[in-house]
Structure 1
Amino acid sequence: MLTLLVITVALCFHGNAAFFLETSSRNVTQTLSSTNGGQFGSWGRAEFCPQGQWAVGYDMKIEKYQFTGDDTALNSIALICSDMDGAHFGSHAITSTEGPFGDWKGRVTCNQRPSKPMFLSAFSLQVETPQGSLDDNGATWVKFQCEDMYGTTQMEELNKDPGKNSFGDFGPYSSSCAAGSAICGLKTKVEGNQGSNDDTTLNDVQFYCCNARDPGH
């Protein structure tokens, strides 16, 4: 088991939304990766839900279609956090490196059952392959699977309407968090602002699974 220490404390504002960069030590049991991530950019810092919380939903920062302009599509992903009993449902949202373009689309969360809270457990990333001399987008959308912490409820797909972007294709779903764990953090690969050159912003993402027996839970 890998224990990661995040040594940041900050409150970041994106429009009307506040995102916490947490100081925490989480028991990371798995790292979930895509197979089709974009090639541009650098990996940012790993960020985690507070102790005793896991991801129950997400938000995306999307730049709308620019017609003849430079498209970037997906600029950032935020995770919506909650504890097991839902007492702090959605009180925290976290994000890693963020591209500068677009607007947040609005939160979407797993359907909750009173006796079996549902958390994010796997993901699929929509990515446009490199376009050569044409306009590159990198990653354009993301969707997830929801599952209860112990794998006793059938997985449900969680996808923000309309379900996909106009550019690129979804890759296969990642592996799923093992029983007794759920997604608790993320790290994004983002290309910085290219000025008058072709921007792609977010290209890839990794998510972390944390054990239900986390310290402090």
Structure 2
Amino acid sequence: MEQSVGAKLLLLLLWTTRCGYAGSNGPGGYTSVIEVTNGGPWGDWTWPEMCPDGFFASGFSIKVERSQGIPGDDTALNGIRLHCSRGDAQRNTHVVESQSGRWGKWSEPLWCPGGGFLVAFSLRVEASVIPGDNTAANNVRFRCSDGAELEGPGLAWGEFGDWSNPCPKGVCGLQTKIEEPRGLRDDTALNDVRLFCCRS
């Protein structure tokens, strides 16, 4: 369902207040947004969440609903958390999460080696099947600043798309596209994500 004009304006106001203007001179601490081209078609963009000033995302975890079998309704990937750090990657951390779907369980965090940071991502998305049980996003991969690649413990439906553009320094926030629960109709939960690149 499309958001009303009022809801979109409120989201923009909250985003601007929390994050600042998305430019190299803005106060929000980020310079650009990275996206992929294969995100699912359902749902609406929710609120962005940002790492604290001076923190970069050095790890992530995902919320996944396991296969529900027949005739269950599968939603697969429901959420993504960024684990932001400054200094020691696994001690001085702060977790940020945009809106997530209601189904599934959170995985243990995966960390960039050697104190590196997340710089790019790729989504595994199942193409629309009509009629059928759609799941949209199933898994996510991240590339670290040293070139290491981390793949979440998601599901295998669909294909990984192209990598996003890289952040020059690292990722510092995220925003998710979520389809709200639809009752007895087909649910997909998380469809897409965009990430924010840190300025410093």
How does the TM-score come out when normalised to structure 2? 0.84
Q: Which consecutive residues of structure 1, in runs of 5 or more, have no partner in the other structure? A: 8-24, 148-153, 213-217
CA contact (8 A) 1:26 1:210 kept: no
CA RMSD of aligned residues (A): 1.7
CA contact (8 A) 1:70 1:135 kept: yes
- SS of the aligned residue for 1:143 comes to strand
Quote the residue 1:19 is aligned against: none
Q: 1:206 to 1:51 in 2, by over 3 A?
A: same
- SS of the aligned residue for 1:205 comes to strand
Q: Which of 19, 31, 46 lines up with 1:44 in the alignment?
A: 46
Q: CA deviation at 1:4?
A: 5.1
Quote the residue 1:134 is aligned against: 132
Q: Which structure carries more strand by proportion?
A: 1
- Residues 1:157 and 2:160 are matched in the alignment: no
Quote the residue 2:18 is aligned against: 6
- Residues 1:65 and 2:63 are matched in the alignment: no
Q: Which amino acid aligns with 2:78?
A: N
Quote the residue 1:99 is aligned against: 101
Distance (Å, rounded) in 2 between the aligned partners of 1:30 and 1:6: 16
After superposition, where does 1:179-190 map in structure 2 within 5 Å? 181-190=169-178
Distance (Å, rounded) in 1 between the aligned partners of 2:63 and 2:37: 22
Q: 1:90 to 1:141 in 2, by over 3 A?
A: farther
Q: Which of 75, 78, 97 lines up with 1:75 in the alignment?
A: 78
CA contact (8 A) 1:81 1:93 kept: yes
Between the two proteins, the alignment pairs up a number of residues equal to 178
Q: Which amino acid aligns with 2:30?
A: V
Q: Which amino acid aligns with 1:124?
A: S
CA contact (8 A) 2:66 2:155 kept: no
Quote the residue 2:24 is aligned against: none
Q: CA deviation at 1:33?
A: 0.3
Identity in percent: 39
Q: CA deviation at 1:158?
A: 1.2
Query: Which range is displaced more, 86-95 or 134-143?
Result: 86-95
Q: Which of 33, 36, 58 lines up with 1:34 in the alignment?
A: 36
CA contact (8 A) 1:47 1:94 kept: yes
- Runs of 4+ more than 6 Å apart: none
Distance (Å, rounded) in 2 between the aligned partners of 1:72 and 1:87: 31
CA contact (8 A) 2:139 2:156 kept: no
Q: Which consecutive residues of structure 2, in runs of 5 or more, have no partner in the other structure? A: 1-14, 20-26
Quote the residue 2:9 is aligned against: none
